[in-house]
Amino acid sequence: MPRKREVVAFQGEEGAFSQEAVRQMLGSALKVLPCPRFEDVFQALQRGQATAGAVPIENTLHGSVHENYDLLLQYDLTIAAETKVRIVHNLIAAPGTTFADVRNVRSHPVALNQCLRFFSRNPQLERVPFYDTAGSVKALMAERPPHSAAIASAVAAERYGGRILRRSIEDDRRNFTRFFLLRRREEAPPLRHRAREGKEWKTSLVFATRNTPGALFRCLSAFALRDLNMTKIESRPLRGRPWEYLFYLDFLGHVEDERCRNALNHLGELADLLRVLGCYPKGD
């Protein structure tokens, strides 16, 4: 349930896939605050211009968004929720434009490249690179160039009044992005007051160890010896410190459960750095 006067920051134009993530996590009865860069989302939240922020953290084709992990370490916020958004690309045009009218298609090059089979089947369509997917629909509706269409999310079509000419034209349907909803620590509802019945919980953390043989193995014993199930582990070399590694780890469990508390205490003994990024209901 969104609270009163919820303002949610995300990177990109209105209609970006981040906004779809916001809708999945909080509904649409809220104000959005589109930001140019990921760091602007963190800043808007820290400065109180937003009550929450949504950032992508990993994609099934492109891997983890290290920039947002770095920002999570830099800013003292907490993860309040997670969700996965399937990246569905649609061909969108201004009302009145038919598929037969379209000669050029604008979108972000990454989106254009994710629809190569569609363009092979429709060689009459020229691809025009644009800044951002939702922004390509916004510009299309403002300028109304003849023979043009854009590729973006259904949310972008709806936001700017575009018409979807072809749905789901992406090559790969296994393209999902996982998003975190962030809040200021003091404003996230105290965990012990949240309803926990019937829900699985997930905890995300970052830790560092020196890269000596067996160091990670010892750290993971904190979870394995307590039968806690990990859902993500990823190493990342620390630049400039060639023998040190950061690890991103998610496990199923609630930080206030005794087993989890003990595991975190145990990991704290073994790791050089440990930071819990958040504890939140497991998303679908």
Piece of the chain touching a second copy by CB under 8 A; list 45-53, 56-64, 145-153, 158-166: 56-64
Residue 230 interacting with a second copy (CB under 8 A): yes
What is the number of other CB atoms lying within 10 angstroms of the CB of residue 93? 25
Among 179, 208, 209, smallest CA distance to 278 is for: 179
- Residue 257 — φ and ψ, nearest 5°? -75, 145
Select from 14-22, 62-70, 87-95, 271-279 the region that touches a second copy (CB under 8 A).
Answer: 62-70
| Residue 101: DSSP 8-state | G
Instruction: Please report whether residue 142 would count as binding a second copy according to CB under 8 A.
Output: no
**Active-site entry in 179, 223, 247, 251:** 179
Q: Is residue 119 within the footprint of a second copy (CB under 8 A)?
A: no
129 binds a second copy (CB under 8 A): yes
Q: Rounded to 10 degrees, what is the CA torsion of 279, 17, 26, 24?
A: -90
217 forms part of the interface with a second copy (CB under 8 A): yes
Please report, for the chain, how many H helices and E strands are present, in that order: 9, 15
Of 177-216, which residues contact a second copy (CB under 8 A)?
Answer: 211-214, 216
Minimum CB distance to a second copy, residue 147 (Å): 19
DSSP one-letter string for 167-203: S---S-TT-EEEEEEEEEGGGSPPGGGS--TT--EEE
Active-site amino acid positions: 177, 179
Q: What are the residues binding a second copy (CB under 8 A)?
A: 37, 58, 60-67, 108-110, 113, 116, 127, 129-132, 174, 176, 211-214, 216-218, 220-221, 223-224, 227-235, 237, 239
